[in-house]
Chains A and B, each alone.
Chain A
Amino acid sequence: MSEKVKLVHGNGGRFSHELLETYILPHFKNEWLGVLHDGAQFPVQAGRMAFTTDSYVVTPYEFPGGNIGKLAICGTVNDLAMNGAIPQYISCALILEEGFELKQLEAILSTMEAMAAEAQVQIVTGDTKVVEKGSIDGIFINTAGIGMIPDTVDSHPKNIKPGMKVIVTGTLGDHAIAVMGTRYGLSLAASIQTDCAPLNGMIQAVLEKVGKKVAVLRDPTRGGLGTTLCELAQQSQTGILIEEEQIPVTAEVKSVCSILGYDAIYLANEGKAILIVEADVEEEVLSILHTFKYGKAATTIGTVISQNKGKVGLRTTIGGIRIIEPLGEDQVPRIC
């Protein structure tokens, strides 16, 4: 086979098949995909199913600690987990730029295989298209996923009530800084890596223990913690008060933010979750999270309150309150 992707690899004929056989199938081995039919068929249970989709267009497609493939699997797995579902089946649509290095594709597919194995999900159906050079930046991926939601679980903003505690599973801003920190001439500390990870194992462990005492789960991806909490406050019409001192950010990420003028609470995360839980299970939830490598730095950052409905307030170190609004324009480095 050639070393680069050609237009003909996307036309559905012999070359498409060669690409599938040589690169894709070896990494996504399972009985459903192996049939190579137009879709996957499987029996389903009665109950509630969660269904989610996301497209991944990140540039650069490789960054410290991961690549676009890692995002594509973990992103969809995590969205299912945030719905309280047990992720099962994933679809994967690839759009490749003509000329994309097949070695790169191999590396990305290999990562996806590893993530799928860790998350215990199967990639059962997919599609591959090739577009002309210059129309996209290397590779775009869309994944969709389904999973069943146990009856003992209900993750929904309507469940948020005053008195509940707001927990975040770890440090914020790691992914955003790993991806864009090297723009503008900065070299990052080696420890700055994407936090991209499949959280379903950890979330499932919490839900199995405390079930409906978890009011809602949401992952603070684009727009960061700040935007996500604003959405939750709005959707539940409660107030949320968080403590500046409690918000976990590594010293390395803080430093990059201070150089470029970024605010860590608005930076994207790909391996963190926000859990809003009843106060009486706060300690138990934290101790479960701490037993997982993706939850070691889990901590309570705030409380749901009955006043200031729909608003998010941050109590600063000096005791003042800063009202948090959703992220407006994307952050760019500033001089001011």
Chain B
Amino acid sequence: MKTLTSQEKANTAKALLARIRELYTPGEHLRFMEVCGTHTVAIFREGIRQVLPPEIELVSGPGCPVCVTDQIYMDKALAYAKQEDVIIATFGDMLKVPGTEHSLAEAQAAGAHIHVIYSPLEILELGKQNPDKKIIFLAIGFETTIAAIAGTVKAVHLSSVRNIFFLVSHKLVPPALRVLLEQKEGQIDGFILPGHVSVIIGEEPYRYLADAYKIPACITGFEGVEILSGIVNLLEQRKTNHYQIGNQYTSVVMKTGNPVALQLIDEIYEVCDDTWRGMGVLPKSGLRLKAPYDQYDVEKVYPLTTPLPVEKPTGCQCGRVLQGLIRPDECPLFGKVCTTNHPVGACMVSVEGSCAAWYKYGRASGGLAWK
């Protein structure tokens, strides 16, 4: 597949930045929020903040599935991990997330069986090779990963493997955006919408942003020039007062998303209310396995009998960071008590967490401390 050469990328970026300067009203402070951890990282990696006019602020929202998974989920996972006959299968992202007492990585060091996978389908082989163990897969993620895990649940159902279970904590993006716009604090002038979530759900679930809230939104890819062109689109919408769901990622995002994936998700799961770390319960923002697939829901089949640890207040402000109300470096723990080596909250642990990204790409400056 053809891509732009480095020189072409550099020149296109210049052109897009010129366009941004044309469209933008000097002195106006604008906050565009991205809600996708991969965008959080891409923005840092490409050094986008340095090339934008300083009054256009890019803010990270609750786009990191690890970060928005609440502490109770981690404590449940750890409680299962401690059981003798359990193998926990998980994406690498979850390894270092702290529960109330410790993380999966620490549990592993203490003898728990934790298995990192790249694809959830690997759990089928794991199940076959360990017939006397329960394989419990930590099923987290937004819609892109939900589609993959739905496919996995189906594959498990169609197989003869019967020792595989799922601990589910999926989150849906569109309901969260509404909650963010309804909050009294904070200013959001536009959304950079997640490229790969949109591959699954298409443009329609975001329609209310344009119709009800008159706020510009644009689906973009993850390269520097793609993100810049998304910002151009947001500014164009503001200038023309014509609000729509922009799509700058048409090579893989179709208007109707992926109907096969959506149908499968609908077959495997039902929507429910869910708790987002730091944001409380968001209505109709989560999923649970529905019959007959609830036979793989580990909480239904093997409910935990020991009480979970009581949540200790740590001073962690992940919730406010996730809602874009404060920058990571505005949290009193940032860089002092809470670092990537010693994370207090999930935003610092996850590679895509705002705090971790801010810390990794330039400590307290979000990468801006370069003269």
Contact = CB atoms under 8 A, between A and B. Distances in A.
Interface of A: 184-185, 245, 260-261, 307-308, 311, 313-323, 325, 328-329, 332-336
A319 B13 contact: yes
Contacts of B66: 336
A322 B44 contact: yes
Interface string B337-371: 00011000000001110000001111101010111
B23 interface: no
Contacts of B230: none
Given A322-B47, A329-B96, 19 more contacts: A308-B369, A318-B13, A318-B46, A318-B51, A318-B225, A318-B228, A320-B47, A320-B48, A320-B49, A321-B47, A322-B46, A323-B367, A323-B370, A328-B340, A333-B91, A333-B92, A334-B93, A336-B37, A336-B350
A207 to B, nearest CB: 33
A201 B48 CA distance: 42
Contacts of B91: 333-335
A262 to B, nearest CB: 11
A334 B49 contact: no
B369 A323 contact: yes
Interface string B15-42: 0000000000000000000000110000
A334 B90 CA distance: 10
Given A313-B370, A328-B340, A333-B116, A319 B92 contact: no
A59 B49 CA distance: 41
A90 to B, nearest CB: 34
A269 to B, nearest CB: 21
26 contacts: A184-B117, A184-B118, A184-B122, A185-B122, A261-B351, A311-B370, A315-B47, A316-B45, A317-B13, A318-B51, A318-B225, A319-B13, A319-B47, A319-B50, A320-B46, A320-B48, A321-B47, A323-B361, A325-B362, A325-B363, A332-B95, A332-B116, A335-B141, A335-B145, A336-B93, A336-B351
B272 interface: no
Contact of A260 (B118, B122, B367): B118
A261 B371 CA distance: 30
A251 to B, nearest CB: 11
Q: Which 10 A-B pairs have the closest CB atoms?
A: A320-B47, A332-B92, A318-B13, A184-B118, A323-B362, A318-B224, A320-B50, A316-B47, A333-B118, A336-B352
B241 interface: no
Secondary structure type dominating chain A contacts: loop
B51 A320 contact: yes
Given A333-B118, A335-B145, A308 B371 contact: yes
A305 to B, nearest CB: 10
Of the candidates A308, A320, A335, the one having the most CB atoms from chain B within 10 angstroms of its own CB is A335
Determine the interface band of chain B, counting residues with CB < 8 A from chain A. 35 or more
Contacts of A329: 96, 340
Given A307-B371, A318-B9, A325-B360, A336 B116 contact: no
A110 B341 CA distance: 41
Contacts of A261: 351
A234 to B, nearest CB: 13
Nearest to B43: A320
A255 B2 CA distance: 14
Contacts of B365: 323
B178 interface: no
A184 B46 CA distance: 28
Contacts of A318: 9-10, 13, 46-48, 51, 224-225, 228
A320 B44 CA distance: 9
A303 to B, nearest CB: 14
Given A316-B47, A336-B64, A322 B367 contact: yes
B49 to A, nearest CB: 7
B269 to A, nearest CB: 18
Nearest to B144: A335
A319 B10 contact: yes
B173 to A, nearest CB: 13
B370 A308 contact: yes
A334 B351 contact: yes
